[in-house]
Structure 1
Amino acid sequence: MTPPVLAVHGWGFDAGFWMPVLERLPDFRGDCVDMGFYGAPKRPKVPRPLVLAHSMGLAWALANIPRPWAGLLAVNAFPRFTRSPTFVDGVPPRLVERMLTRFDEAPQQVTADFLGRCGIDSPDTSAIAPEPLKQSLAWLGQCDERTALRMLPCPVQALAGTNDPIVPQAMSLASYAPETLVLVEGAGHLLPLTHPDWVASQVRLFAARLEA
């Protein structure tokens, strides 16, 4: 039996981010996490889920979703974001620090600028909830769930773009075992939005492996 899906969005998005993929999987059961960046948070409890995690959603899932999991499909995602002596392929910490410095005075603009860099045209951030976004941004700057990912006792599959402006290819290569990573030539940071048919097909293939 196909395991239930639990989909987790990244920073600046909401539960609706995964809908283009989930609409293509009508026979799958499951639910979506909402971190509350645009309204009330939602933290559904899904037993032994197949976790779909985008961007920061992977680190968040590793830190917050109880085990066991049936499997993990990570998309444009990472267990650690910022550079450190043991993670030289992370982004410079100053990038997150600059966002935090500006956030109190211009939370809507900071969020819109980030979504624009992700590839969202004319993002609407008028309804954001600044405090959850700020707290998650601060956590993003220091989180490190690499050990949790390595210790995860379930199958892992990762999808990434070679032209991702948020998660560079080198970061993806440094984050996953080579046999678990599929790189999409020329793709950016929003595979579930730009390649929903393909991502849905990858979910199906991965779920079939879990059932075998």
Structure 2
Amino acid sequence: MRIALLHGWGFDAGVWDALAPLLPGDLVRMDRGYFGAPVDAGRPDLMIGHSLGAMLLARRWSDVPLVAINGFDRFCGVDAVAPRVVQRMAKRFGEDPAKVLADFRAAIGADPAPAIASPQRLGEDLALLADQTPAPEHGARLLVLQAEDDPLLPPELRRTAFGGAGAVCESGGHLLPLTQARWCARAIAEFVR
């Protein structure tokens, strides 16, 4: 089984360091190239996306099974994050990308980021977070894994992401692939059976 993994905004393929060794199959850690060279993948048998990575994967291959970890099909809008939050972040990003990234990562309990290699890509993907377009329906199987204590995603967004087809962990914040890797691996193993 070929599995494509894609991280969220402000991260890289290192977000999978704890979870990847627990997964079966041929893994391709895609990378948006925020901090180094981008890595893409061909069509997989299963997609696993963290945060924005889940949205990007769902829109790229709507007919491939998807595991969305701390993920969403749209970030802003009704029952989601207020668009002004991302607009304010984007304005600040234009003035000081490193500061915005550092503040974001600190707010979700992440380690400091490496040096930014592509502020343009980070900025483009930040704009994607502001997109309020309703997500196209995902035509394949879905598993949504969320954390009750996620500081980034409002409760209503966690409940309704991808139609609410998911499981909730009490703790782990917005970094479940790192903080709850075994829980995620068990849920994924059940999903792929």
TM-score (norm 1): 0.84
Shift of 1:12: 0.3
Secondary structure of 1:20's match? Answer: coil
Aligned to 1:92: 82
Name the structure 2 match of 1:80: 74
> What residue number does 1:105 align with?
95
- Aligned to 1:45, which of 42, 46, 51? 42
For residues 133-170 of structure 1, give each alpha carbon's deviation from its aligned partner in whole angstroms, at most 9, with x where no partner exists: 00110121115352x2x3x2221111101111111221
CA distance in 2, matches of 1:58, 1:126: 24
Superposed, which structure 2 residues align to 1:4-153 within 5 Å? 4-25=2-23, 27-47=24-44, 49-64=45-60, 66=61, 68-69=63-64, 71-83=65-77, 88-121=78-111, 123-142=112-131, 144=133, 146=135, 148=136, 150=137, 152-153=138-139
Gaps of 5+ in 1: none
Distance 1:115 1:89 in 2: 23
Which deviations, in whole Å up to 9, do the C-alpha atoms of 1:5-32 show, x marking residues without a partner?
111110000112112111122x421202
Task: From the superposition, tell whether residues 99 and 186 of structure 1 become closer, same or farther in structure 2 (CA, over 3 Å).
Answer: same
Structure 2 spans left out of the alignment, 5+ residues: none
Q: Distance in 1 between matches of 2:106 and 2:129?
A: 18
Which string of whole-angstrom CA distances, capped at 9 and with x for unpartnered residues, describes residues 37-89 of structure 1? 11121111134x2110111111111223x4541x1111110011112xxxx21
Q: Helix, strand or coil: the match of 1:12?
A: coil
Amino-acid identity (%)? 34
In the superposition, the TM-score normalised over structure 2's length comes to 0.92
Within 1, Cα distance between the matches of 2:16 and 2:2? 15
Asked whether the equivalents of residues 105 and 113 of structure 2 are also in contact (C-alpha less than 8 Å), the reply is: no
